[in-house]
Chain A
Amino acid sequence: MMMTDHNDDMLEDIFAQARAVASTPSDDLMARVLAGAVPPTPPVISAPPTSVGKRLLDMLGGWPAVSGLVTATFAGVWIGVAPPASIQDYTAAYFGDEVSVSIFNDDAVFATGDLTDG
């Protein structure tokens, strides 16, 4: 028991001496540590697209938006070329029936009989 106490005293004494050890980093160590402290490089930002077509595409909202535009355009052209019956009824109701009006009298335009008579 006494021996254990002695051993503990010795150990505590050595612990205390170890805690008193000072370690001042040398200039060389400071330099080595700081040399390794390279700030992380920021993420590379890709350059903006340069071609006019690419910029126009981006301006319109990319391929998804452009495909919608193209579809709408073709649909509009097709409806104009071959309108469905329901559309025709609707336009007729809205704009009225097509009427041809002539401002000339068909009979009198080229008639010269009266002049020659006089």
Chain B
Amino acid sequence: MSSRIPTPARLQELFRLQCFVFGKVHNPEAKRIGTKVLRESLKGPQIRNYYYPSKQILPTPAKLNKIFGNWTTVDPEEEHRLERNEYLRRKGKGAPKKLKEKKVIEKKRK
């Protein structure tokens, strides 16, 4: 009756097969093959998205309302600007109205 203890050669073969089955690098002599570099996960996307997402890529609420006709999304910054403009116009400190072409010509002649 043969002994039940496996030989070292057989154990090595088992280890090699284990690596083959589970997709690992077989490196029994522990040489520096650089697989450590390849094993690391890529962290580029995570590093790139550190700051707030860009507003240049995202559509504005006004654009969204235009695309989907029923939508009524509110842009607080834009609303604040319009309110301020109205307030200034009531005080008489608003931006001047656009001049028509005729008036511009008259001024130039003077």
* A, B from the same assembly: no
> B interface vs A, CB < 8 Å?
none
> A interface vs B, CB < 8 Å?
none
